[in-house]
Structures are given as C-alpha cells and as structure tokens.
C-alpha cells in the first residue's frame, strides 16, 4: 500500500488532488497536513502525530502557512531516517528562486498545479508513473 502525505493549505486543491489520487491503480492511504508546521510534526511523529505512519511519498506545496514547503523539504533532507523520502513539489509557484531552492534540496519532481480536473488527472498519472519507476529502481514490491 502506498502511503501519501499531501501537504497543502488550500481546501480546493486538497479536494482536487485527493479526488485525482483516487484514480491511482494501486492501494493507497492519504494523510493531509495543512501547514508546514503540521507536516514537520507529522513526519517527526511529535505532538498529535506520535502514532502517525511514515509516508512513502510526500506531495508538497511551497506556499504554506507557518513554515513553507522549502523549509519542510529541508527538514526532510536533514533527518537521517527520512532523508531519502521521495518528495514531489506540487505548487502554483513558478518562481525561479523556489525551483532553485527545491532542486538544491533534491526534490524528486517539480510540478505546477493545473487549473482543472482533467489536467490534475494527467498530473496524477505522471506521479503514478514516477512511483512505479521509483519502486522498480528501489526494489520495492508494489
């Protein structure tokens, strides 16, 4: 089963993304963190998230309240137990500075959020292809 942590503060984008993820062709469980701080607590299993499972994949927005996506990605890459966690940036940001920052922190993909459901489904299909290829390379059974 694929465990996905979606880090997104926009309720409309949460709905679009989770609906599109439902079309993935394998079993999955989706957790949502609505702030960068909440994502870090989830990933570090602190506070209300002490029993939270470690995700297999993180879908991360950049423009988040409290701590932004770059800070969350930096946290992930600096924690030895989760530093190799695949992270896909899914954001409305097209800032070259943001792209440079997440590339420097080794995000696995940078995807600009589409505006409609059809395009979202295409993006999720690309994420599914990424996951299938990633699991093959890592020798992870699907």
CA gap 94, 71 in Å, rounded: 17
Question: What's the angle, vertex CA 28, arms to CA 51 and CA 61, rounded to 5?
Answer: 75
Q: Is the pLDDT of residue 128 over 90?
A: no
CATH 3.40.50.2300 fits 2-138, yes or no: yes
Looking at per-residue pLDDT, the higher value among 65 and 2 belongs to 65
User: Any idea what DSSP says for residue 83?
Assistant: T
pLDDT tens, position by position, 67-106 = 999 999 999 999 999 999 999 999 988 888 888 999 899 9
> Domain boundaries in the chain?
2-138
Residue 131 is classified by DSSP as H
Neighbouring CB atoms inside 10 A of 88's CB total: 20
CA distance 78 to 94: 25
């Amino acid at each position: 089963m694929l465990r996905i942590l979606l880090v997104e503060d926009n309720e409309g984008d949460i709905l679009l993304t989770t609906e599109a993820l439902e079309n993935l062709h394998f079993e999955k469980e989706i957790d949502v963190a609505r702030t960068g701080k909440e994502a870090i607590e989830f990933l570090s299993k602190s506070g209300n998230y002490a029993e939270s499972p470690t995700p297999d994949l993180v879908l991360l927005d950049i423009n988040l309240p409290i701590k932004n996506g770059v800070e969350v990605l930096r946290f992930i890459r600096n924690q030895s137990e989760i530093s190799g966690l695949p992270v896909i940036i899914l954001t409305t940001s097209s800032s070259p500075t943001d792209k440079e920052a997440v590339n420097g922190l080794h995000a696995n993909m940078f995807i600009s959020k589409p505006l409609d459901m059809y395009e979202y489904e295409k993006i999720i299909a690309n994420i599914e292809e990424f996951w299938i290829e990633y699991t093959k390379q890592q020798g992870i059974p699907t």
